[in-house]
């Protein structure tokens, strides 16, 4: 089986390459080999290489920049998934795609379920929702995994930023009223492999570890665990001050409630998802040992 992984150099894409190579021959062209922003180039590549499975880990993820770069965000988050879905629908192939908690309005305190009404607050969220809906409308075999607060041992992400700042500063202010679940790219890739091995029924699933926290709580736990692992930091967990979103304005509005109910995925795969703290520990060890 020939597997195309788009966005293979990203956080999720890198982990997918490590996991999906067990299922077939992985093709993960870089930007020089395939410009995903160019619909014609994508069409030509698909015709030439004829993948049997497409795993779309590519996305425009610069949430604030998307407010002023709508065209590029729309292409990568909506038009590209639609194009890949058409290819899969025409050939009876399967498409795996990754979505975001940002498609929800962020109100209330209950975890979002897959059938809840959407209501994105930002360009990024709207374009991600457009991509989801295009895949669902294509009638191709698909798995859409909506996840939240993605990070990994590689790339640019909140965990690595906090570690850098924690070495430089003895106090920080971090938003405390946005609640969600930090999700490591490794877990996303492991679940994807399990879903493909077990031929998980086509549909939309939420994917995140168990538990919830704020960005401030996430930062404090990063510092607590890193210190326990022997990392020298200027900051201590109790020096992470909690501030409301209103004190940290950004071009794009963030949802306050990013909780995701993952019971449907757990039932379908017969698993219990691990806690976000356990997953952070694994990711920190991998990063600090690298």
Please give the C-alpha separations between residue 79 and each of 29, 94, 123, in angstroms, as whole numbers.
19, 18, 14
251-262 burial, b for 16+ CB within 10 Å, e for fewer? ebbbbbbbbbeb
What the block records as the tokens of 26 is: 């992985």
DSSP class of residue 273?
A: P
**Backbone torsion region of residue 206, taken as left when φ is above 0, otherwise alpha when ψ lies between -120 and 50, otherwise beta:** beta
Separation of alpha carbons 183 and 208, rounded Å: 5
Separation of alpha carbons 129 and 118, rounded Å: 8
DSSP class of residue 94?
A: E
Q: Are 180 and 149 in contact (CB under 8 A)?
A: yes
| Catalytic hit among 87, 124, 151, 205 | 124
Residue 159 CB neighbour total at 10 angstroms: 22
Handedness of CA 235, 157, 112, 276 (dihedral sign): negative
4 beta partners:
27, 54
Separation of alpha carbons 250 and 241, rounded Å: 19
Q: Are 218 and 149 in contact (CB under 8 A)?
A: yes
Whether 124 sits among the annotated catalytic residues: the reply is yes
Active site residues: 124
């Amino acid at each position: 089986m020939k597997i195309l992984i788009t966005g293979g150099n990203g956080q999720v894409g890198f982990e997918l390459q490590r996991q999906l190579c067990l299922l077939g021959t992985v093709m993960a062209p870089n930007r020089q080999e395939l410009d995903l922003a160019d619909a014609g180039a994508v069409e030509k590549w698909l015709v030439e290489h004829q993948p049997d499975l497409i795993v779309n880990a590519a996305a425009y993820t610069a949430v604030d920049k998307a407010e002023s770069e709508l065209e590029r965000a729309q292409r990568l988050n909506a038009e590209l998934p639609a194009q890949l879905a058409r290819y899969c629908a025409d050939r009876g192939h399967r498409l795996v795609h990754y979505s975001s908690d940002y498609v929800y309005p962020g109100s209330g305190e209950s975890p979002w379920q897959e059938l809840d009404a959407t209501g994105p607050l930002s360009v990024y969220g709207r374009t991600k929702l457009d991509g989801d809906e295009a895949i669902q409308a294509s009638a191709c075999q698909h798995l859409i995994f909506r996840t939240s607060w993605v990070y990994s041992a590689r790339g640019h992400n909140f965990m690595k930023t906090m570690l850098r700042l924690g070495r430089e500063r003895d106090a920080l202010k971090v938003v405390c009223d946005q609640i969600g679940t930090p999700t490591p790219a490794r877990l996303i890739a492991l679940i994807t492999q399990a879903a493909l091995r077990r031929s998980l029924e086509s549909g939309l699933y939420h994917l995140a570890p168990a538990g919830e926290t704020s960005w401030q709580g996430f930062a404090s736990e990063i510092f607590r665990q890193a210190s326990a692992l022997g990392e020298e930091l200027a900051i201590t967990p109790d020096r992470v001050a909690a501030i409301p979103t209103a004190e940290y304005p950004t071009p794009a509005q963030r949802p306050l409630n990013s909780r995701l109910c993952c019971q449907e995925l757990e039932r379908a795969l017969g698993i219990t998802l691990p806690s976000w703290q356990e997953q952070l520990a694994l990711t920190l060890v991998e990063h600090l040992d690298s």
